[in-house]
């Protein structure tokens, strides 16, 4: 099979946890940090998410030498992250890869037979897409992300 160019540049590993503050304390105790809060995510247009549940998720990130670590504590409501926590427990939820365009990445993924689990887009079409890859052989959700200036400055609606 031909390499998909969308899964070549690892950006982050996202770990779903029950208690984000406890996880931060642990990682800091072994020298991983500092941890930062994600900017508000309310400007995203969503597909595949219960919007109120999406907005209740808490995310923190730490930049390490070669990638970013993310922690996600799902809130109440139905999200893929909440379902993962309830069925599989804490652990790696997804691997995030950097792309220039999520829309183009989705096109390439569809041509390779990958289905979309969920997505979020800002007005400039930057954002993220999660693919249904857990039970298809990857063992983990694969994500693509295309950053925007707006996201880097803190997303506000």
For residue 63, pLDDT over 80 is answered with: yes
3-state helix, strand, coil in the chain (%, to 5): 30, 30, 40
User: Residue 10's pLDDT is what?
Assistant: 97
**What would the pLDDT profile of 101-150 be if each residue is shown by its tens digit?**
999 999 999 999 999 999 999 999 999 999 999 999 999 999 999 987 65
Ramachandran angles phi, psi of 21, nearest 5°: -65, -40
Token digits for 38? 């994600």
Per-residue model confidence (pLDDT) at position 68: 97
- Does 154 have pLDDT greater than 60? no
Q: Are 126 and 119 in contact (CB under 8 A)?
A: no
What is the pLDDT averaged over residues 64-91? 96
CA 25 to the chain's CA centroid: 21
Give this prediction's pTM. 0.90
DSSP codes joined into one string, 61-98: EEE-SSSEEEEEE--SS--HHHHHHHHH-SEEEEEEEE
Domains of the chain: 5-152 (3.10.180.10)
Average pLDDT over residues 76-83: 94
């Amino acid at each position: 099979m031909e390499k998909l160019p969308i899964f070549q540049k690892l950006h982050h590993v996202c770990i779903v946890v029950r208690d984000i503050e406890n996880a931060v304390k642990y990682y800091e105790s072994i020298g991983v940090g500092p941890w930062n809060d994600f900017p508000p995510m309310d400007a995203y247009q969503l597909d595949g998410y219960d919007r109120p549940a999406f907005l209740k998720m808490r995310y923190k990130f730490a930049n390490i030498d070669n990638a970013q670590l993310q922690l996600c504590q799902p809130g109440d409501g139905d999200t893929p992250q909440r379902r993962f926590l309830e069925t599989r427990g804490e652990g790696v939820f997804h691997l995030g890869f950097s792309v220039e365009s999520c829309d183009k990445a989705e096109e390439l993924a569809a041509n390779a037979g990958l289905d979309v689990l969920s997505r979020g887009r800002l007005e400039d079409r930057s954002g993220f897409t999660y693919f249904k890859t857990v039970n298809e052989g990857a063992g983990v959700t694969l994500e693509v992300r295309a950053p925007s200036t707006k996201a880097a400055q803190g997303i506000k609606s």
